[in-house]
Amino acid sequence: MGNFINPAIQVGDSVFIRFTCNETGEQGTLTDSITSIPWVRFLGHLYLEPKDLPLPPQNLQINIIENISNTISWEHQQGMTYSVYRRILSDTLSNGKTRNLYYRVADGLVDTGYVDTDINDGEYYGYILYRFTPRNRQAPIR
């Protein structure tokens, strides 16, 4: 699980992590609570069940205009809402390993894209697009 911030995870928070196998069409959900930061959870068993899974976001693309913007676009699916998280690839820990700390930069999107203009010259960014139905926010697909 990557690190997410905005909002930050805190001790006592509930966690729902959905594991999905798109190849077999199965899902399983880990439900737990955060007992410490950093949170460590070793999964003994996770049972996957057949599900009627929606397709991942289609035609996902990024267009980079150097020093100006990164535009993430996708094909909107009826009834879905999207959130975009971003990390800075040069953000590292003291041991030189990548931090993988993601910040939510957009939430509740019902459009077909997001333009990130809060970028710095010479930086590289990674993005995660989450898709969910408004009635079930803990169901990120991708």
pLDDT of residue 140: 44
Residues 81-123: tens digit of each pLDDT: 999 999 999 988 888 888 888 889 999 999 899 999 999 988 9
What is d(CA 108, CA 118) in angstroms, rounded to the nearest whole number?
Answer: 19
Residue bearing tokens 């729902």? 16
- Work out whether the CA dihedral 7, 60, 1, 103 comes out positive or negative: negative
C-alpha span between 142 and 139 (Å, rounded): 9
Identify residue 35 by its one-letter amino acid code: T
Q: Write the pLDDT tens digit of every residue in 13-34.
A: 888 888 888 788 899 988 888 8
At 32-52, the pLDDT tens digits run 888 887 777 777 788 889 988
Evaluate if residue 129 carries a pLDDT over 70: yes
- Give percent of the chain above pLDDT 70: 88
pTM of the full structure: 0.67
Give residue 3's pLDDT band: very low, low, confident or very high (50, 70, 90).
Answer: low
* pLDDT at position 135: 58
Integer Cα distance of 60 and 98 in angstroms: 24
Domain spans of the chain, in order of start? 1-53, 55-142
> Which of the 8 DSSP states describes residue 133?
B
* Distance, CA of 83 to CA of 110 (rounded, Å): 9
DSSP 112: S
Nearest to 58 by CA among 122, 113, 116: 113
Confidence of residue 138 (pLDDT cuts 50, 70, 90): very low
CATH classification (class only), 55-142: mainly beta
Cα separation values, 87 from 60, 73, 80, 119, Å:
18, 17, 23, 11
Q: Write out pLDDT tens, residues 46-79.
A: 888 998 877 778 899 999 998 899 999 999 988 8
